[in-house]
Structure 1
């Protein structure tokens, strides 16, 4: 269903972060305009690793089925001991496969080229009547009390065209235009960090004949010369990486014949391997930087515009998706006049600690891989899966169950407040355990096998919580074991229609009043107890 009206938000940059933000706002009936200075869609795999937490984001946005249809499992690593001998190798899983459980339906990363992720997002946006405006560049902007005025250069699909200048106004503007983008620079935000000049890479995609598909092939030592060729979802196409002090990175990025020659030598001059065309290639120097804040008045930055990191660890694009999902629902509430603009201050408050920890994590993996030569599988409990990323410290989070018991602060709350005051926030989840007690601000678990007992339902449909959650409303879960549903439901009736979805979750055989079931949007029977286990555990206290 198309979202019409003058765009209220300008999104500058149509990478995954900008596209995700556009979709989130459109699902909230907020008209947007999204521009991209390049005149053609991006090519290539680029940030291809989708972490489990991102798959949960795509579930909320209702595009998970398209993503999983195209994505592949992370290929098994085949590391060659002797480059010239294709039979001298060891194999291991970079991300050991794990069996999903009721709380976590996605327990392993998947691989899908950024170009294909963007194509899915483009197609979904089109269903809302929104098309990315390619060849439209932001030249400058000026902020006023009630708007942002942007000066654009509109060239269209011809990259070298002069184009025409356009001046237009929006209530808010978001820069998702990358590390070299104009928005952050014109805002004057700091971008402090470091450049790892000794850790240069050459990356790209290449058609290769003779390599076993469904494998991530590796040769050599990253301290001297390492070649990596990872199978992709496109048959015959491999994503490659060349790294090491014996590589002239800048020269290889502009000389494909030399690139093929170096790859041939790095892989043992094997006659069975043939390196063909290279759709895209880039020389890459790791930058590890972040802004000091995500907002100046009516303009925001997110994704690579706000933070850049080493590709090791697979966090960059995934962190950007979480940036924009966080911003999207808050901006929608403000634009609908359902929240004060001060809510937008929590975007910086919540995301800065998470991004700071992300940079530490990816820098550690970079050092282990390219300095210590320790390319090894991830631990199954790795924080890089992002399950533990949380906002427990946020000013808009209230945790009555874990903080207050009989009006007495618990030892855990004392510890938390000490950490907060010392700026020692555990934003990546060392204390956020997948099978432990929930705290406000944590990731919300899934729960399957929920049977629809809503009076208006004609069928006993089975639900999962992730299919109940959505990007355009807040979901309130009500457990009769903890609280009488009726007073809660009556209070929630005072909120605007559509803003909140109420869900009563009952145990098998439990009965709630007819009035309560009439007021609730859903009544779901927790047939196997998964929702109760995940959300209330062994607690019998009231809320």
Structure 2
């Protein structure tokens, strides 16, 4: 049927029959096969976190419903930077190519004084890509466009999203979650799900309803700021423009890649937080050489109040906190959105293992175990940057060095490793190579998808047929040995992973779960796979 308004979309989505062919979005046909309204996962909040999680679950065949209280995706450029590790996540989720086409690099910073540029500097450090890290620089894309592309990818996967529906009440027991949705016309509907994910932002109503506390450092030196998306005449698009104000405040105008927009940030110690278009024009005219009339159009405005905090826990029974609902960051360093997307990436594969492959519910406890220390670490980085006056942003913000060496899911079974060796728990590097017939490929192409990968380097005793996993769950790839699947033509796999012979088990989120010596690989990998296939968690060897 044709969906003409939010109310029609709501009715259609909420008559889901429990099969994986749900509502595509608010403009396309929705199923109306039965009244059950049951899902595997209910996600509250269609920001970057909720959309990334919905994409990951959809490709795993997990029945998920994503609900958003607004009647559309959020406007505004907001967080504009995608760090290299997030680009790797987007590569796996199948959205990176579109994001690269829509985005671009950050320009150099231009400092203005008396109506002219007096200095320029490279604010965002640029790093050359390597075979192991093909995405080596932050990518700028307005958040509204980022959301659109994630939404389009969810449509391709027939994922369900329901706009104009606010999750207003819920309860949980050993069988699942029962949630009440309040729709745009004031009516209510009830949805049942095995699990609920709160991706509803820093003011999360679900976190508050759970009674989960949130605490963090006080961010000194920056009160409210004005944020706006504008069309402006009289400025080049080759620089990130900045003017210092007499009160130690500033005006900054960033040309947004892929658009004719600028993102405006205005801050001062005594700033009146008035986000009206006329107030924005007045601020720009007062703080720069531009006139009010050169601010051709004010597209969106907001008052931004920097905060830093983290939830006391990320799981409460069948409910999980993700993204800003779990941690709020200073904008310094562009870490918040990226950390949030990677929350979704960590949680998505674990929900898939429990709901589709028989893994124990205790696997989901490792979401909190793994992500809270990461969030705390990144919170410290962004808070430190906020307190400093440095403008330069380097590789330490790329999130490529984040890993899970201390996770209960991680098993490093080799001994006498060099100090700088790749270890279980680390990010799995990329490496260009060829297939056995000489076709160029790379490890990221092999890893892409919802499966685990067994990477066997050299001659090993690995017997894939003896492992407790279906082919759809684990793919085995031999590099070298008597019957190789991949040829390390230029030695890039060796450079990244070592000489072998070794077997690595790579998680669906691109981290090394197991590193085993070649002569004991089958037994050791089988033990580790039990953690993901229903035999209970296997503690790490330390």
TM (normalized to structure 2)? 0.83
Corresponding residue to 1:348 among 359, 368, 371: 368
Separation of aligned partners in 2, 1:223 and 1:111: 30
Separation of aligned partners in 2, 1:477 and 1:305: 36
Structure 1 runs not aligned, ≥5 long: 156-161, 413-435, 454-458, 518-522
The question of whether the paired residues in 2 share the 8 Å contact of 1:195 and 1:286 is answered with: no
Match of 1:429 in 2: none
Corresponding residue to 1:154 among 183, 186, 190: 183
Match of 2:471 in 1: 497
Corresponding pairs, count: 471
SS for the counterpart of 1:186 is helix
Corresponding residue to 2:411 among 398, 401, 408: 398
Match of 2:332 in 1: 312
Matched, 1:193 2:216: yes
Separation of aligned partners in 2, 1:272 and 1:142: 52
Match of 1:484 in 2: 460
Match of 2:429 in 1: 445
Q: CA deviation at 1:234?
A: 4.1
Separation of aligned partners in 2, 1:246 and 1:188: 35
Corresponding residue to 1:242 among 266, 274, 290: 266
Q: CA deviation at 1:235?
A: 4.0
Separation of aligned partners in 1, 2:150 and 2:128: 28
Q: CA deviation at 1:109?
A: 0.3
Matched, 1:107 2:130: no
In structure 2, relative to structure 1, the CA distance for the partners of 1:137 and 1:288 (3 Å cut) is: same
Separation of aligned partners in 1, 2:247 and 2:379: 22
The question of whether the paired residues in 2 share the 8 Å contact of 1:45 and 1:239 is answered with: yes
Q: CA deviation at 1:378?
A: 2.3
Separation of aligned partners in 2, 1:469 and 1:51: 20
The question of whether the paired residues in 2 share the 8 Å contact of 1:203 and 1:241 is answered with: yes
Equivalent residues in 2 for 1:223-372, closer than 5 Å? 224-248=248-272, 250-251=273-274, 253=275, 255-268=276-289, 270=290, 274-369=294-389
Q: CA deviation at 1:181?
A: 1.9
The question of whether the paired residues in 2 share the 8 Å contact of 1:59 and 1:467 is answered with: no
Q: Deviations over 1:8-37 (max 9, x none)?
A: 110000000000000101111111100000
Match of 1:526 in 2: 488
The question of whether the paired residues in 1 share the 8 Å contact of 2:50 and 2:66 is answered with: yes
In structure 2, relative to structure 1, the CA distance for the partners of 1:460 and 1:222 (3 Å cut) is: farther
Matched, 1:135 2:164: yes
In structure 2, relative to structure 1, the CA distance for the partners of 1:538 and 1:169 (3 Å cut) is: closer
Separation of aligned partners in 2, 1:496 and 1:235: 46
Matched, 1:78 2:110: yes
The question of whether the paired residues in 1 share the 8 Å contact of 2:105 and 2:257 is answered with: no
Match of 1:25 in 2: 57
Matched, 1:512 2:495: no
In structure 2, relative to structure 1, the CA distance for the partners of 1:145 and 1:278 (3 Å cut) is: same
The question of whether the paired residues in 1 share the 8 Å contact of 2:103 and 2:258 is answered with: no
The question of whether the paired residues in 2 share the 8 Å contact of 1:256 and 1:278 is answered with: yes
Separation of aligned partners in 2, 1:172 and 1:222: 52
The question of whether the paired residues in 1 share the 8 Å contact of 2:166 and 2:182 is answered with: yes
Q: CA deviation at 1:273?
A: 7.7
Separation of aligned partners in 1, 2:206 and 2:317: 13
In structure 2, relative to structure 1, the CA distance for the partners of 1:272 and 1:168 (3 Å cut) is: closer
Q: Deviations over 1:369-422 (max 9, x none)?
A: 3xxxx32x224xx32111111111001100112xx35xxxx897xxxxxxxxxx
Separation of aligned partners in 2, 1:64 and 1:352: 26
Separation of aligned partners in 2, 1:235 and 1:338: 46
SS for the counterpart of 1:278 is strand
CA RMSD in angstroms, aligned pairs only: 2.1
In structure 2, relative to structure 1, the CA distance for the partners of 1:274 and 1:535 (3 Å cut) is: same
Q: Deviations over 1:475-497 (max 9, x none)?
A: 111101xx425x332323x4123
Q: CA deviation at 1:85?
A: 2.7
In structure 2, relative to structure 1, the CA distance for the partners of 1:49 and 1:222 (3 Å cut) is: farther
Corresponding residue to 2:399 among 386, 408, 415: 386
Match of 2:16 in 1: none
Q: CA deviation at 1:271?
A: 5.5
TM (normalized to structure 1)? 0.83
The question of whether the paired residues in 2 share the 8 Å contact of 1:3 and 1:128 is answered with: no
The question of whether the paired residues in 1 share the 8 Å contact of 2:41 and 2:193 is answered with: yes
Q: Deviations over 1:44-70 (max 9, x none)?
A: 211110000100000111211111111
In structure 2, relative to structure 1, the CA distance for the partners of 1:344 and 1:464 (3 Å cut) is: same
Q: CA deviation at 1:303?
A: 0.2
